[in-house]
Chain A
């Protein structure tokens, strides 16, 4: 299971399918695509694992079921590397 890291307000601005997001913990700003932003918003609603997120976000992603879980897993690891999310 993953959740948004406590302390992250996920302040972001989105233009034309790309977004910038302010990282409250590091002070850095990240350039994200729409898919990464969708994952963060979904995790802000409630913690979830990759399989659950794949079901919830199937309409947002253009990938097959198995590929989608794997894709989301990779994205979650990347977002965790930025301290935006953490295991719970």
Chain B
């Protein structure tokens, strides 16, 4: 199988600047074209273990990231994103090209992949039990996810949980984990082995760095997982660790609120989410100490809260 890492830098740049690199992420084929060096650096580091699809196959998303033309090419150069020939976003400074790739890949899935119920949530699996972590920004979801990946958990997704509409099975979409601001140094200290992209400052979300997805998670991207728990995490400085059961009907409403396309799917989304809630225990989770959180999640993986 051809991977990004098996291409030389020259081959990678030739594909990206030519017909495009067809990058396989979970169920999706992304054709990426770019001449922007920071983006190429990010792809080479973060996607080294990902499959490259052959030319001529079906492509889900066509993504072009190109440098400004004219004077802008030389002064405060920017990167422009085009999706299937349209330009849905404002250009960004060149240095933000790699985070822009991640955001736009998320956007493509959340706005187009309506064959799944898509929840704004991380999802990880261990011992055959998948745990979904829906949470708004600032809840510590990605920090917790990055920490768990160093403790034997498989990454299905840091950002988007894909729920199969017919049987509530969870479809992996393992991609780099987005870390913001203080989370970057927290994970560097907690997981010295972690591979992080170069931090990019002054984005709309602050300073951003991405954590490379584990190789095993990428290799198992075609292997779905069964839901076991839905855990709503909240990081709170100095808080004692607490895991409290949550009534299922309330969990349903909160997951629906955290979904990208629940409303779009209508009655099919209602049925799919009902099956997911049926299959899952729901909890609220408060924590301040990552080591304690690791121990508690190990118990959840073993089937004991």
Contact = CB atoms under 8 A, between A and B. Distances in A.
Given A13-B252, A13-B277, A27-B263, A18 B247 contact: yes
Nearest to A29: B256
A1 interface: no
Interface in A51-77: none
B277 A18 contact: no
Interface string A20-36: 10101001010100000
Given A13-B277, A15-B277, A29 B270 contact: yes
A15 B247 contact: yes
A30 to B, nearest CB: 9
A31 B277 CA distance: 14
Contacts of B305: none
Contacts of A16: 247-249
A19 interface: yes
A18 B263 contact: no
A79 B271 CA distance: 22
A88 interface: no
Nearest to A28: B263
B267 interface: yes
Nearest to A24: B267
B205 interface: no
A9 B278 CA distance: 21
A15 B256 contact: no
Interface string B234-260: 000000000000011110110010000
A15 to B, nearest CB: 4
Contacts of B262: 29
Contacts of A18: 247-250
A9 B271 CA distance: 13
A45 interface: no
Interface size class of B (residues with CB under 8 A): 10 to 19
B270 A31 contact: no
Nearest to A18: B249
A15 B248 contact: yes
B236 to A, nearest CB: 26
Interface string B274-289: 1001100000000000
A27 B266 contact: yes
Given A13-B274, A15-B247, A20 B252 contact: yes
A41 B250 CA distance: 21
B271 A29 contact: no
A31 B267 contact: no
B253 A29 contact: yes
A11 B267 CA distance: 8
B256 to A, nearest CB: 6
A16 B281 CA distance: 13
A14 B266 CA distance: 18
A10 to B, nearest CB: 11
A74 to B, nearest CB: 21
Nearest to A21: B270
B135 to A, nearest CB: 20
A11 B274 CA distance: 11
Contacts of B249: 13-16, 18-20, 31
B253 A31 contact: yes
A85 B183 CA distance: 50
Given A11-B271, A29-B256, A29-B270, 6 more contacts: A11-B270, A13-B277, A14-B249, A20-B249, A31-B249, A31-B250
8 contacts: A11-B271, A15-B247, A15-B248, A16-B247, A18-B249, A18-B250, A22-B266, A31-B249
